[in-house]
Amino acid sequence: MKILVTGGCGFVGANICLHLKKSNHNIFSLDNLSRKGSSFNLKVLKKNNIKNFNIDIFNYNKIKKLTKFDLIIDCCAEAAVEVSKNEIDRVINTNFIGTLNVLKKIKKDKSKIIFISSSRVNSIEEINNIVKKKFLKNKLKITKKINENFSTLKPKSIYGLTKFASEMLIEEFSYAFKIKYIINRCGVIAGPLQFGKVDQGFVSLWIWNHIIKKKLKYIGYGGNGHQIRDILHIYDLCDLIELQIKNFNKNNNTLFTVGGSKSSYTSLIELTKKCEKITKNKIKFSKQSKSSIYDIPYFITDNSKIQRAYNWKPKRNMKQIIKDTYNWLIVNKKQLKRYL
């Protein structure tokens, strides 16, 4: 199958490109290399004979001139929630108009789309309400798992809005033009090829800073590091995408929540302990009590629907995620210093 992966030099996109290439698909990437680290991933794609079109996703004139693809996997976004507060135009142009451009190309080609959406479409207020009373001093326990029916009411951040609006646009294109789609609403994803920064990719950032002994900060919710997230290994997402491609006609025009769920989750403070163990280094932490207006204290995904549809569930736990990310960072340490 001839497949275009947008954001193909990013963390998620590059892993998907490499995985699908091994399954003998004809893979292309579209990426303008705006994320620090994407030019490193480009070299990895090149070594694997995957071509990248260096095009801004906002530029439909260039996109429409590309050859026909059977499927587009849309992984292109400004993925940092906090950035969306300050760079509203760029985030809307990349994340929402970008998806519109992908859809126009799909309509022209009579092809189909797999969209990587985000758990950030969910209401920040409602997520806060799950744990409100238990938070700050005590360790959080898993109480509720979040599925496709959880509130998507405001507020959700500008980033969350662009992902939610993209989901709705895909559904409208499907209704009006019979485009087949699958939407994967993903929680936090981690693993090799991720260039972690303070506002995005915290697992990679945590491990890297332990490796190079650079201090970190617990931000928000009292600064105690009790925030909990489930984490999905990127290889588990790649396995899922492959299954979805194989069974496209069985389960299409559907939206799924996808995450590490109970098989892999961590609080920041527990992540620190795990990083200390694997790197044998201890680093300094400072605290910032005040939370950002976009922060959430908790997210655990309910994978029931996706599990039923594909008999899929994450195979790799937190230990494996940390081990694989650590190994990638260590093996490439010298070169990665330029990007991290």
Ligand X SMILES: NC(=O)c1ccc[n+]([C@@H]2O[C@H](COP(=O)([O-])OP(=O)(O)OC[C@H]3O[C@@H](n4cnc5c(N)ncnc54)[C@H](O)[C@@H]3O)[C@@H](O)[C@H]2O)c1
Among 20, 73, 170, 188, binds ligand X (CB under 6 A): 188
Residue 31 near ligand X by CB under 6 A: yes
Which residues ranging from 51 to 90 are in contact with ligand X (CB under 6 A)?
Answer: 56-58, 75-79
Q: Could you tell me if 263 and 313 are in contact, meaning their C-beta atoms sit under 8 angstroms apart?
A: yes
Residue whose CB is less far from ligand X, 82 or 134: 82
Q: How far is the CB of 10 from ligand X (least distance, A)?
A: 2
Residue with Cβ nearer ligand X (34 or 292):
34
Q: How far is the CB of 34 from ligand X (least distance, A)?
A: 4
Burial 81-112 (b: 16+ CB within 10 A, else e): bbbbbeeeeebbbbbbbbbbbbbebbeebebb
C-alpha to C-alpha distances, 329 to 94, 111, 192, 336, nearest whole angstrom: 28, 37, 8, 7
Task: Report 117-136 residues binding ligand X (CB under 6 A).
Answer: 118
- According to the binding rule CB under 6 A, does residue 10 interact with ligand X? yes
Closer to ligand X at the Cβ: 72 or 189?
189
The CB-of-71 to ligand X minimum distance in angstroms stands at 16
Q: How many CB atoms lie within 10 A of CB 27?
A: 26
Position 12 contacts ligand X (CB under 6 A):
yes
Q: Report the 10 Å Cβ neighbour count for 147.
A: 15
> What residue spans of 37-97 are helical by DSSP H?
38-47, 60-63, 83-86, 88-91
| Phi, psi angle pair for 225, to nearest 5° | 75, 25
User: CB 176: neighbour CB atoms within 10 A?
Assistant: 9
Give the interface segment with ligand X, choosing from 138-146, 185-193, 264-272, 308-316 (CB under 6 A): 185-193
Q: Give me the residues that bind ligand X (CB under 6 A), please.
A: 7, 9-13, 31-35, 38, 56-58, 75-79, 94, 116, 118, 163, 186, 188-189
